[in-house]
C-alpha cells in the first residue's frame, strides 16, 4: 500500500467518525469544504505527538489514536467550543495494516463520542508522528480565553490531578495494581472536558487546559491575564488512583498534581457572584470542581499550605511559573 494516498488510508477510518450536515466535501479532494452557521465563530487548534517524546515507542496504537485527538479536543474544551471537524497528518515508518486499524479504532471511538468528523489529512513516510488539527464552534464572542481572569476571581480545577504523571514516572514498570492501571489509563486515554468547557461559556472569566502541569498552565493563564495567583497546595484535587500510590509525606504527593502534566483537566477562574453556578455545574455534569485558590493583583504564583505556611517547590515544572522578566 503506498503511503501518501490519504484516500486509501482513509479507508481505515470509513464509518468510524460521524457524518455531519455542515460538511459539503470530505476526504478525497484537494481540500475539504465546510460551512459555519451564522452567529458562530470557529475555534482552531493543532497539536503533534511524536513517538519517543509524547508517548513511549511501543505504545498501543489505539491509545495513540485516542490521545492524538484527545489533546486537541482538550484545547477546544478550554475555549468552550463544540467539536466539529478534524484533519489528520500521519507520518509512519511503514504502512502496517494492524497498526493503522488499531490507531483508527482509537481515534474513531473518541471522534464518535465527541461528534467530530475526520474531513481530510495527509500521510507521509517517516519517523512516527501524528499531527491533528481540530475545529470547533462557539457562539460569536463567547469563546473562553486565558486572558480574562481578574484579581479576586476564584480558581477551580476539574477532576483530579497527578495520575498521568504517576504513570509516566513508572512507564518502564508493568501496571501491576489497579491503581497503577488507572494511572496508565489516564496517561493513555485522557478524556477532554468538552461538556464542562461549553458549560463554562458565560460563567468562567478565563480557562486553560492542563497539559504541561497545573502550575505551568496556571502561570500561562496568569501572564495572559496580567495577574498572579495564590494556591492552596493541599486543596489541589488528587486523582483517586494517585491517593492509593502516594501519601502526603511523599514529595510526589505535591509534585505530580502540581507539575506533572498530561492531566487534560480544565483550570478556570470565576468571579465571586458566579460561584454558586459552579456548584450547580458539579451536580448537573457529575464532575468534581474544586476551588484551589484565587487570582491576585500580583505577579507569579504564591503556593501555600492549608495552615497558611509557605510551600517549598521541588518538581520539574517549576521554572515555568516564575514571573516573566
Residues 6+ apart with CB under 8 A from 51: 57, 59, 127, 128, 129
47 annotated ligand binder: yes
**116 is a contact residue toward its own copies (CB under 8 A):** no
# binding residues, its own copies (CB under 8 A): 63
Give one word for 214, left, alpha or beta, with left for phi > 0 and alpha for psi -120 to 50: alpha
Under a CB-based contact definition with an 8 Å cutoff, are residues 214 and 161 in contact?
Answer: yes
Q: How much is the CA Rg of the chain, to the nearest whole Å? A: 20
Residue from 9, 10, 27, 45 in contact with its own copies (CB under 8 A): 45
Q: How far is the CB of 83 from its own copies (least distance, A)?
A: 11
Cα(50)–Cα(107) distance, integer angstroms = 16
Which span sits near its own copies by CB under 8 A: 101-109, 126-134, 174-182, 307-315? 126-134
Q: How far is the CB of 19 from its own copies (least distance, A)?
A: 17
Cα(106)–Cα(119) distance, integer angstroms = 17
Residue from 1, 4, 14, 305 in contact with its own copies (CB under 8 A): 4
Site for its own copies in 61-90 (CB under 8 A): 75-76, 78-79, 81, 85, 87-89
Residues 6+ apart with CB under 8 A from 149: 205, 206, 221, 222, 225, 227, 269, 295
Judged by beta carbon, residue 127 or residue 152, the one nearer its own copies is 127
Site string for its own copies, 248-287 (x = CB under 8 A): ----------------------------------------
Locate cell 485558590: which residue?
A: 293
Alpha carbon 68 to chain centroid distance? 10
209 annotated ligand binder: yes
**124 is a contact residue toward its own copies (CB under 8 A):** yes
Measure Cα distances from 233 to 143, 156, 237, 317 in Å. Answer: 29, 13, 9, 15
Judged by beta carbon, residue 87 or residue 167, the one nearer its own copies is 87
172 annotated ligand binder: no
Residue from 14, 50, 288, 297 in contact with its own copies (CB under 8 A): 50
Cα(217)–Cα(231) distance, integer angstroms = 13
Under a CB-based contact definition with an 8 Å cutoff, are residues 58 and 102 in contact?
Answer: no
Locate cell 484545547: which residue?
A: 75
Residue from 24, 277, 305, 314 in contact with its own copies (CB under 8 A): 24
**41 is a contact residue toward its own copies (CB under 8 A):** yes
Going by the annotation, the residues of the binding site are: 30, 47, 54, 75, 121-122, 146, 209, 211-212, 262, 318
What is the contact surface with its own copies in residues (CB under 8 A)?
Answer: 4, 24-25, 28-36, 38, 41-54, 75-76, 78-79, 81, 85, 87-89, 91, 119-122, 124-127, 129, 131, 133-136, 138, 140-141, 143, 145-147, 207-209, 212, 224
Going by the annotation, the residues of the binding site for ATP are: 121-122, 146, 211
Amino acid at each position: 500500500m503506498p503511503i501518501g494516498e490519504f484516500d486509501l488510508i482513509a479507508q481505515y477510518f470509513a464509518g468510524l467518525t460521524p457524518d455531519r450536515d455542515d460538511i459539503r466535501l470530505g476526504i478525497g479532494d484537494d481540500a475539504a469544504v465546510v460551512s459555519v452557521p451564522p452567529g458562530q465563530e470557529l475555534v482552531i487548534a493543532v497539536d503533534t505527538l511524536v513517538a519517543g517524546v509524547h508517548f513511549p515507542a511501543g505504545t498501543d496504537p489505539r491509545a495513540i489514536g485516542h490521545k492524538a485527538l484527545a489533546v486537541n479536543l482538550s484545547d477546544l474544551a478550554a475555549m468552550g467550543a463544540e467539536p466539529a471537524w478534524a484533519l489528520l497528518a500521519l507520518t509512519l515508518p511503514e504502512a502496517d495494516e494492524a497498526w493503522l486499524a488499531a490507531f483508527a479504532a482509537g481515534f474513531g471511538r473518541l471522534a464518535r463520542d465527541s461528534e467530530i468528523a475526520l474531513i481530510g489529512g495527509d500521510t507521509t513516510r517517516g519517523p512516527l508522528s501524528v499531527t491533528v488539527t481540530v475545529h470547533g464552534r462557539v457562539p460569536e464572542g463567547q469563546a473562553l480565553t486565558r486572558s480574562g481572569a481578574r484579581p479576586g476571581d476564584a480558581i477551580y480545577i476539574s477532576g483530579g490531578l497527578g495520575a498521568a504523571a504517576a504513570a509516566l514516572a513508572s512507564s518502564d514498570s508493568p501496571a501491576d495494581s489497579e491503581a497503577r492501571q488507572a494511572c496508565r489509563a489516564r496517561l493513555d486515554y485522557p478524556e477532554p472536558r468538552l461538556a464542562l468547557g461549553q458549560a463554562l461559556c458565560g460563567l468562567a472569566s478565563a480557562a486553560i487546559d492542563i497539559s504541561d502541569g497545573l502550575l505551568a498552565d496556571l502561570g500561562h493563564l496568569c501572564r495572559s491575564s496580567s495577574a498572579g495567583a495564590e494556591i492552596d497546595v493541599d486543596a489541589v484535587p488528587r486523582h483517586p488512583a494517585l491517593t492509593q500510590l502516594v501519601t502526603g509525606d511523599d514529595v510526589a504527593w505535591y509534585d505530580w498534581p502540581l507539575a506533572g502534566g498530561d492531566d487534560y483537566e480544565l483550570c478556570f477562574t470565576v468571579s465571586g457572584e458566579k460561584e454558586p453556578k459552579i456548584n450547580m455545574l458539579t451536580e448537573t455534569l457529575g464532575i468534581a470542581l474544586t476551588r484551589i485558590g484565587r487570582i491576585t493583583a500580583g505577579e507569579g504564583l504564591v503556593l501555600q499550605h492549608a495552615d497558611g505556611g509557605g510551600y517549598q517547590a521541588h518538581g520539574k515544572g517549576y521554572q515555568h511559573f516564575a514571573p516573566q522578566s
